[in-house]
Each structure stands twice: as C-alpha cells, then as structure tokens.
Structure 1
C-alpha cells in the first residue's frame, strides 16, 4: 500500500473562491525541534471545469517563473476561472529562500527526486506530495523554469515529446498556445522517471515546461513573452474564461534539442572564453571557445570545438568552469 504524505495543510482544495495558505513540510532541526517548512500555495476555484497545476521555484535560482506565478495569483478573481487553478510559486521553498538550485535543507534537487519519499528528506517529501496529492487532482501541469545561475537560455518553452501521437499533438498544442519566441522539443530523454515529467506521464497529466532566461538574473524579454502567453495557455486548456480578445498567438520557432551526450562540455578546469552567443547558428568543427588556466597563465588554452552544428539554445553563464560543466546546448530547426 502506498504510504501517505507527512505534509499537511489547512487549505481546502475544494472550497469555492480563493484560498491561500501553506503546505507544511515537517523538518526537525537544532533550532526548531518540531518545526515545519512553509511552502506557499493558492487555490482558485470556480465551479466545474479542468484543474491545472502551475508551479515555479522547482529550482530556487530561477526567478522569472516565480514572479509570473505571484503576479498571476494576485490578479485573478474566481469569476475568471472555470474549474480550479492550483498555484505553487516557490515549490522548493528552502531553495527559493536561498536563491540556490538545490535545497540547503538537504541538498535535494527537486526535479531529480520524483516520485519522492513520504519519509525522506524535505525535498523528497515535497516531490512525494506533488506526485501523490497534487498531480492526481489535475489534468494539466505547467512548470516554469529558467536556466538558473549556471545557464542562460533563449526565451523558450519546451516539452519532452510523448511517443503517443495524440499526446504529442496535445503537447505541441501547449507550445503553440503559449507561443514563446522559441519552442524546444526534446526526444529520447533518459532518466525521465525521476523528473516531474515522469510523474505527469504515469498519472496521465499533460505537461509543459519553460526556460525563461537564466544566468541568475531576470530576463525582461522572456518574462514579458511569458506574461502574454500564460493567459493564452490557460484559455487553451479551458480553465480561464475568455476575456478581452488577445488576438492570435504569435509564431514560435521550433527546435529539436540535441541529446545530452552531444551537448558541449568543459574538459578542463579554468576560465571559459565563449566564442558564440545565444541564438547564433554554428557549424560542426567550429570553435566554440577556449578554457584558460589562471594558475598556469603561460599554458596554451584548451580549444573547445562544436561537435555538431545547430542553433545555440543555452550557454554557460559563469566564466569559471570545471570538467563536466555544460558550456552550450544546441538544437536544430524542426517542423512541428
């Protein structure tokens, strides 16, 4: 028998109107023996209709989605909703508070710990709560990410394409409605059972994610595009009542992201001199950059070569790099 969550909340998921409160994650520490970690949550419900889970702060150093969720929950009145919105703007709350990718409470990367553990660390308990309580309530889950401190992305949304043709068409429909400047498709992803995506697929929940900038900052371009796209996406799935006519969604450029093994990685520790920028199209064998060695400044830098051509979707943000750090992610134009 599946174990029940240890997280509790006073928020009523079925109450009509707006309900604000916390998911209370038990966490015993030196300075708080019976303490709990507060994870803010808002429920907006109005009658029957689809239920949608909106999340940000899966990684705490990704800020555009957090602001997008906070502005949305403050602006929506229940009469604009048909069904239920579940909004969690800072789901990995300790990571959000610290501005870190992973939680300082336990070192947990939430998006690598699904389906979680009800008796595990705080991050494992949060993953289990999403998997066992939140996702079974909803038909759709949209998770808003950015590149975080270490990466900067072109403003984009992305889906890992399902093998089923109907589900694939649904996922591409999310991208078309949200209509970021670029849309990224990922195929053949390994280890997806440890991601939120894996739980969504197992439970039959439609899923889309984003990459809204990154580099530990706040991308105005990506945020504004997401702010325009979110109402279209919510209308597309039927949870947002039609309001003012937003006009047709703008065109989005589709890319198929290269698999992880083909991304460009650092093979030495040092300072990375990039030779290409976001959105640029490069050729196989072209110089991507160089790793310089401050401790041995007379040593020749190590040249980094693009193993395959394509369009640069993401690049490393910090100049300091070590072996295994991703320097560039590329994709190829795709006719969706």
Structure 2
C-alpha cells in the first residue's frame, strides 16, 4: 500500500479470502480530535488473476449503483472468484450519509478533485487513495452513477477513449458486455475534464466503465438490476468469475455527445415546465420547455428550444430552476465504431 496515503484499513489486499471492514478516513473535529470516518469496503481474493475495483456512491444521492454493488458483495464468495474483487459501495461515505451530491465536510465533488491530495481535504484524501492505492492494482474499474437529486437519466454508459484502435475495441466490448442500452465514447473534454476518475486511471491504462442508471434521488429498480447484472457479466468476461446468474446483455446503441449544443440550460430563474420527455427523439428548434417566473407571475413564460437533433438522455428532475441549471441533455447517433485514437 502507498505510504503517502493517510487513509488506512485492516484489509490486506494480498490475502486470500473474503474480508469485510472499512477504510478509515482521518478527520479532526471539535468533538473528535483524532477521529476517523468509515468507508465500507469488501475484498475477495482467490489466488492469481485480474483485479476489478467496483465503486458506487461517488455522489451520495445516487442509489442504483450502491444497491447493485451491495447485492454483488453479498453473493460473491472466494471459492467462485479467480483473482481479486474490491468493492466500495459508498466510496464518498460522508456524502452518502448526508444524501448529497457533494460532501458535507468540504462541499467538494469527488469526481472533480482527482487525482486528489494525501494531505488535502476529506474528499481529496479519498480521491488520492483511489488514485495511489486502488488504480495501480486494477485491471478494470466499474464506477456506477445516476442523475442524483437534480436529474433523471436513461440507463447509459461512457468510456474515455483509448490511444489505439485495440484499446478502443476492448472498451467497446466492455460496454457491450455491461449491457446498457446507450453508450458513448468521450474525449474527456467535457464535465470534469482531467479531474475525474477516468482521467486519473488513464496513465495506468486501466479501463473505466462509468454508468448512469437512474436519478431523482430515488431508486429505479431497472437501474439497480443493471448495476448488479452488468457488473457480474464484466467479472465473468475478464476471467474473475467462471459463471454468473445474469441474463445476456441487450444490444448497445453507440451514441455521441461532442457538442455543448446538445445540452439545454436555463437562461433565467423560474419554474421549469418540460415539453419533452426522457427517451424522446427531438429536433433542432423544437420547444423544449417553459420557464415561469415566480417574481413576475403575470409575465409570459420564457420559451426554451432544442438547438440540435438528438435523443433525450437526461432531464432535470426538479421544477425550480436557476439560471445556468441543466434542463436537458441529448445524445446523437455515432458511427458503428469509435474514432481511431479517440482520447
């Protein structure tokens, strides 16, 4: 284990068997000068073989992945594993306990602070542990998300493109095995850019499957089932499981999201009335929604329009919106294979 991390655990990643404990995130507060916060962890190992790191709870108000990985952790036993599986269903435990996207300790978004800092804030210490301890061991990382409190998502997955055609072919096959209906390759330029987990994994050459499986800070059963079944299929595919009780994956539609025009934002404050629904195919110039001003209820609502053809993959869950809030996200069809050398 890296000597620079401040997080510690009784789990020995080199020991065979099933170990259940927690990572200990050091914290010093008014009422606990030398305390720590538990981050539940499960490690299964049986001899030599590949290592899979399974994460959920990066954002605390996203639940499908958390429950899916809990189910995976309960059913796996060392005897049916070849290699190693490390499961952290609530990697950002402070945010999970608070039911928030960001940590209540430092107001940080875990997927915006990679590679983190050993002597940083609580969230930076978690990111540093993943970067310095877990990623060097991993042959595959599965990072399960959903839209949280503010968004509803269709089940989809994305990968950061590799440097070669061979890497991209492998990533595409991993997406197909996981089995989401929609999948996209990203160049890493959007969202958190180089501060995300896939960006931190890139120097190690570790593939990261990131999935969006629901939203609204509630539980979509199809999302938690996909989290469980898709993860089991991936463990079988990379050789950790000889078999798994999961149905064959559905076909994957390869999509793209390379333009900011595919996102629709509120340009003023108000109550958001959507005029299109999740999963709907929309056209450039189509009415997307209305924003009703609570300050000027007598005024006509602001009309918002789509600026691109596409499929609605996410939609704002909350009615109250502020200027700059994302109201819709679209995907458009991509070519049958990822671009050469996509990164």
Bin of the TM-score, shorter chain as denominator length: over 0.9
Give yes or no for contact 2:236–2:244 (8 Å, CA) kept in 1. Answer: no
Moved more, 219-228 or 86-95: 219-228
Structure-2 residue corresponding to 1:70: 70
- C-alpha distance 247-3 of structure 1, shift in aligned 2 (>3 A): closer
* CA distance in structure 2 between the aligned counterparts of 1:179 and 1:243, rounded to whole angstroms: 14
Structure-1 residue corresponding to 2:214: 213
* CA distance in structure 1 between the aligned counterparts of 2:58 and 2:271, rounded to whole angstroms: 29
Give yes or no for contact 1:180–1:226 (8 Å, CA) kept in 2. Answer: no
The Cα shift of 1:243 comes to: 4.7
The Cα shift of 1:261 comes to: 5.5
* CA distance in structure 1 between the aligned counterparts of 2:236 and 2:282, rounded to whole angstroms: 37
* CA distance in structure 1 between the aligned counterparts of 2:156 and 2:242, rounded to whole angstroms: 25
Question: The residue matched to 1:58 in structure 2 has which SS?
Answer: coil
* 1:1-336 to 2 correspondences below 5 Å: 4-187=4-187, 189-190=189-190, 191-243=192-244, 248-260=248-260, 262-334=262-334, 335-336=336-337
* CA distance in structure 2 between the aligned counterparts of 1:53 and 1:10, rounded to whole angstroms: 18
- C-alpha distance 226-25 of structure 1, shift in aligned 2 (>3 A): closer
* CA distance in structure 2 between the aligned counterparts of 1:139 and 1:220, rounded to whole angstroms: 28
Give yes or no for contact 1:274–1:289 (8 Å, CA) kept in 2. Answer: yes
- C-alpha distance 243-223 of structure 1, shift in aligned 2 (>3 A): closer
- C-alpha distance 197-242 of structure 1, shift in aligned 2 (>3 A): same
Give yes or no for contact 1:66–1:90 (8 Å, CA) kept in 2. Answer: yes
Give yes or no for contact 1:156–1:222 (8 Å, CA) kept in 2. Answer: no
Give yes or no for contact 1:189–1:259 (8 Å, CA) kept in 2. Answer: no
TM superposition outliers: structure 1 runs of 4+ over 4 Å: none
Question: The residue matched to 1:240 in structure 2 has which SS?
Answer: coil
Question: The residue matched to 1:285 in structure 2 has which SS?
Answer: coil
- C-alpha distance 74-248 of structure 1, shift in aligned 2 (>3 A): closer
The Cα shift of 1:182 comes to: 2.1
Give yes or no for contact 2:17–2:44 (8 Å, CA) kept in 1. Answer: yes
Unaligned runs of 5+ in 2: 338-343
Unaligned runs of 5+ in 1: none
* CA distance in structure 2 between the aligned counterparts of 1:278 and 1:261, rounded to whole angstroms: 17
Give yes or no for contact 2:159–2:210 (8 Å, CA) kept in 1. Answer: yes
* CA distance in structure 1 between the aligned counterparts of 2:327 and 2:186, rounded to whole angstroms: 18
* CA distance in structure 2 between the aligned counterparts of 1:243 and 1:66, rounded to whole angstroms: 20
Moved more, 59-68 or 326-335: 326-335
The Cα shift of 1:71 comes to: 1.0
C-alpha offsets along residues 228-267 of structure 1, whole Å, 9 cap, x if unaligned?
32221111111112256x5643212221124345411110
